[in-house]
Amino acid sequence: MQISPTANAELSAALERVVNNKTKPLGSLGVLEVLAKQIGLIQGTTALSIVGPAILVFAGDHGVVAEGVSAYPQDVTWQMVENFLGQGAAINVFARQMGCALHVVDAGVNHDFGARNGLHDRKVAHGTRNFAQEPAMTAEQCAAALAHGAALAADLPGNVVGFGEMGIGNTTAAAALMHKLTGIPVAHCVGAGTGLSAEGVLHKQHVIEAAVAKHADISDPLGVLAAFGGFEIAMMAGAMLKAAEMRKVLLIDGFIVTSALLVAARLQPAILDYCVFAHCSDESGHKLMLDNLGARPLLNLGLRLGEGTGSALALPLLQAAVNFVNQMATFESAQVSEKSE
């Protein structure tokens, strides 16, 4: 899989001319102008479009929950998947509001759902192993998760893919990945997740630090992903890589989704050209993770739910960026005088 950078001097200049010729002062639509140019470079055209936007929500369980790192029991993962299937979660509400397709994926939940309408069964195993004791997954399991994610992304018909997740314990996995891939101290990577006390956060930090010491010899991105990641995180990374290869816009949600992107970006740095960062999560560490990637998030709403909620809420801003390019009058067409020299 090879992702091409979007850089194109000729197209970039053409997009600049299109944006600057709209009936507005130069730069006055701010980040929307930056976004429009990015979408144009991804799509290789000045005729921008948003077609069939979809959000993939990957669910998986984590063996490290046995170390007491979450405020909620592991059963909440499968119970929330049932909530997604019953159309009752926040992501269902927001996806409906935005007219966005929603795909729920069992990447590795510790529960048997059986054949269910609306659920993609790509279960690699019934949750990862406890990375405080041993690698979370084998190299083969990690490769299978990446391949499943790529296949799911390849089957999506539209040109915008948002990412979300569900998995009790996955902020612990994401914090471990963040530390290993960025070198940022564990204490700055760890947050409250679903609502840990200060004492709980400190315990989570110590669990990660001990696990990092146990797996100290692992440093390559795929090795780090297998040692500390979750099946939902690995599957997201595979889906991101494939979606970018297909020149789709990637909508990146919060802390856990961004940890999957960290892995993908270490494998294929050009993937960042395709990423629109929906928001800065309230989960401690996400801002530092975004800074490490040189990312500028669109929203800052104090969100820390996951599920792809930030991806859904950012979608109207993508549509606005596309619409002003396609529908707004030019100075010439509206017979509006341009700025005096």
User: Which residues have C-beta within 8 Å of that of residue 56, sequence separation ≥ 6?
Assistant: 103, 105, 152, 153, 156, 161, 162, 163, 164, 236, 239, 308
3-state secondary structure of 249: strand
Residue with token string 């790509």:
122
Active site residue 332: no
- List the alpha helices (DSSP H) in the chain: 9-20, 31-43, 75-85, 90-98, 139-154, 170-182, 186-189, 198-214, 221-228, 231-245, 255-267, 286-293, 309-327, 331-334
The residues pairing with 252 across neighbouring beta strands, listed in sequence order, are 277
**C-alpha–C-alpha distance, residues 117 and 109, integer Å:** 17
Distance CA 41, CA 57 (A): 26
Among 199, 307, 332, 341, which one carries the catalytic annotation? 307
How many Å apart are CA 247 and CA 49, to the nearest integer?
A: 13
Known catalytic residues?
307
